Chain A
C-alpha cells in the first residue's frame, strides 16, 4: 500500500452507497486518479464539502499496487471557485473542461502544464463576466492543444510557406494549420474560416486569459473559431465531439 500527498482538481464525483463518493481527480503529481472518499456525505465528516466539482484540494491518497481505485484521506480545500456554479453557462463550460480532462488524461501520467492551465482557467472563469465563458473555454482548449504540440499554426501556409493574404482561408487538420488557396486542392481535411475567425484564433494563441476576457466577439465568429479548435482537439487528441457538457450547453440555447 502506497501513500502519497497530492494536489488535485475534483473533476467528477459519483455516489457510492449512502454517504461515500467515488471521486475522479486531476492531480499535479499522478495525473488522473480515482479514489473513494469514505463517509464524505455525512455533515460531520472531516472531508465534508471538500470533494465538490472544480475544487482544488490537497489530500492523502492510499493505493495498493496495480489497483484502479485508491482511498482518499485528510482532504482540505486549497481553492474553490464558487462563482462558477452561480452562472449556468460558466457552470456548463467549467464542467466541459472537467469532462475533457477526464477523456484526455490517464493514471500515472502527470500533465503539469495542463494542471497549471486548469488553475488559471478556473480562476479566470470564476471572476469573469458570464458572457465571456465560452471564449475563455475555447481559448483554454487552444492552449491545451499548444501544450500537447497540436495548436493550429497560423503564421504562413504550411505547404508553400507564403504569408496569408487570401480571401479564402483554410485550416488543415492533418497538416496542422493554415493552407493557402493555391495549395488547398491537395488537402481533404481543411476547414474554411473567415478572416475574423482567423484573427480570433491568432489572438487566442498569443494572448493571456485576461486579454481574451476583454475581447468582444460576435456569436457567429465565436462559433467558427470554436469549430476549428474542437476539430483539432478531436483529430489530434481523440476528444469525442459529443461531450455531455456540450449537450447541456446546447440545451441552454443562445
Chain B
C-alpha cells in the first residue's frame, strides 16, 4: 500500500468510533472524489481548530469572545441550564423548547480519572449566579458521575433565592418497562406527573 494512503488510514482510524476498516473505506471514498472536496474538508477542520474557543461567559464553543447563544439578546438570561459538554447544548437546542442560557462544565466529577471541582468550569458559574438569575437547571448526564456533579453543584450553589432544578429521569419514548433499569423506573414512578398536566 502507498505510504501516503497508509498514513491517511492511520490518521482517520484515530478518530473515535472509526476502526481500520471504516478508515480505509473513508480514505478510498475521499480518493474517488474531486481534489477540491478533500481540500475543503481539510480546510474546514483547520478553521474549526483555529477559530473555535470556549465562550468567555458560558464555556460553550464560540468563534467570537461570546457564543451565539450568549450574544443573543432575545434569550432569557435569568435561567441557566448546566451541561457537561458543548454537544449537550446542541442536543437541547435541537429541541427548540428552551430559550434560556447555558453553562458548559467541560466534563463531570470523576475521582477515578482524577477530575475534581477545580478541573471543571465551575468558578465562572458561581460568578454568573450573582447577576439576576432565578433558575439553574442541572442537566448533567444521568450517570453516577453526572449525578455526583449535580449534587456537588447543588451543595455549592444553593442560596434559597434561586430555584435549582434537576432534569427528570424517565423511560425513553418507545422503550419498554420490562427492560428499564431499576434506577430509571424508580425515578419515573417517584417523579410521575398528573395525566392532565
* Band of interface residues on A: 20 to 34
Closest CB-CB distance, A12 to chain B, in whole Å?
6
Kindly state whether residue A176 has any CB partner on chain B within 8 Å.
Answer: no
Kindly state whether residue B174 has any CB partner on chain A within 8 Å.
Answer: yes
Chain A residue with the shortest CB-CB distance to B153: A88
Which stretch, A77-85, A138-146, A156-164, A211-219, touches the partner chain B?
Answer: A77-85
A88 lies within 8 A of B109 (CB):
yes
Q: Which of A23-63 contact B (CB under 8 A)?
A: 43-44, 46, 48-50, 52-54
B16 lies within 8 A of A98 (CB):
no
With a cutoff of 8 Å between Cβ atoms, the chain B residues found around residue A84 in the complex are 144
Number of interface residues of B (CB under 8 A): 30
B182 lies within 8 A of A80 (CB):
yes
Kindly state whether residue B34 has any CB partner on chain A within 8 Å.
Answer: no
With a cutoff of 8 Å between Cβ atoms, the chain A residues found around residue B1 in the complex are none
B172 lies within 8 A of A44 (CB):
yes
Kindly state whether residue A99 has any CB partner on chain B within 8 Å.
Answer: yes
When each residue 2-18 of chain A gets 1 if its CB lies under 8 Å from chain B and 0 otherwise, what string results? Answer: 00000000001000011
Kindly state whether residue A96 has any CB partner on chain B within 8 Å.
Answer: yes
B179 lies within 8 A of A46 (CB):
yes
With a cutoff of 8 Å between Cβ atoms, the chain B residues found around residue A245 in the complex are 111-112
A52 lies within 8 A of B117 (CB):
no
Give the A-B pair count, Cβ closer than 8 A.
83
Closest CB-CB distance, B170 to chain A, in whole Å?
10
Q: Which listed residue (A48, A86, A251) contacts B117, Cβ 8 A?
A: A251
With a cutoff of 8 Å between Cβ atoms, the chain B residues found around residue A95 in the complex are 110-112
A249 lies within 8 A of B151 (CB):
no
Closest CB-CB distance, A241 to chain B, in whole Å?
14
Chain A residue with the shortest CB-CB distance to B18: A17
Q: What is the CA–CA distance of A230 and B143 in the complex, to the nearest angstrom?
A: 30
Closest CB-CB distance, A97 to chain B, in whole Å?
10
With a cutoff of 8 Å between Cβ atoms, the chain A residues found around residue B151 in the complex are 85-88, 91
A251 lies within 8 A of B144 (CB):
no
With a cutoff of 8 Å between Cβ atoms, the chain A residues found around residue B117 in the complex are 251-252
Known A-B contacts A17-B16, A46-B179, A52-B143; A91 and B116 likewise in contact (beta carbons under 8 Å): no
B155 lies within 8 A of A88 (CB):
yes
Residue among B16, B117, B148 with most chain A CB within 10 A: B148
Closest CB-CB distance, A104 to chain B, in whole Å?
15
Known A-B contacts A49-B181, A77-B182, A88-B152; A248 and B147 likewise in contact (beta carbons under 8 Å): no
Q: What is the CA–CA distance of A53 and B144 in the complex, to the nearest angstrom?
A: 6
Kindly state whether residue B36 has any CB partner on chain A within 8 Å.
Answer: no
Q: What is the CA–CA distance of A138 and B170 in the complex, to the nearest angstrom?
A: 36
Q: Which listed residue (B116, B148, B175) contacts A247, Cβ 8 A?
A: B116
Q: Which listed residue (B17, B116, B144) contacts A54, Cβ 8 A?
A: B144
With a cutoff of 8 Å between Cβ atoms, the chain B residues found around residue A17 in the complex are 16-17
With a cutoff of 8 Å between Cβ atoms, the chain B residues found around residue A86 in the complex are 147-148, 151
With a cutoff of 8 Å between Cβ atoms, the chain B residues found around residue A92 in the complex are 111
Kindly state whether residue A244 has any CB partner on chain B within 8 Å.
Answer: yes
Q: Which of B128-169 contact A (CB under 8 A)?
A: 142-145, 147-148, 151-152, 155
When each residue 62-85 of chain A gets 1 if its CB lies under 8 Å from chain B and 0 otherwise, what string results? Answer: 000000000000000100101011
A43 lies within 8 A of B172 (CB):
yes
With a cutoff of 8 Å between Cβ atoms, the chain A residues found around residue B17 in the complex are 17-18
With a cutoff of 8 Å between Cβ atoms, the chain A residues found around residue B172 in the complex are 43-44
With a cutoff of 8 Å between Cβ atoms, the chain A residues found around residue B111 in the complex are 91-92, 95-96, 99, 244-245, 248-249
B-side interface residues toward A, CB under 8 Å? 16-17, 109-118, 142-145, 147-148, 151-152, 155, 172, 174-175, 179-184
10 contacts between A and B (CB under 8 A): A12-B112, A17-B17, A43-B175, A46-B179, A48-B180, A86-B148, A91-B144, A244-B111, A252-B116, A252-B117
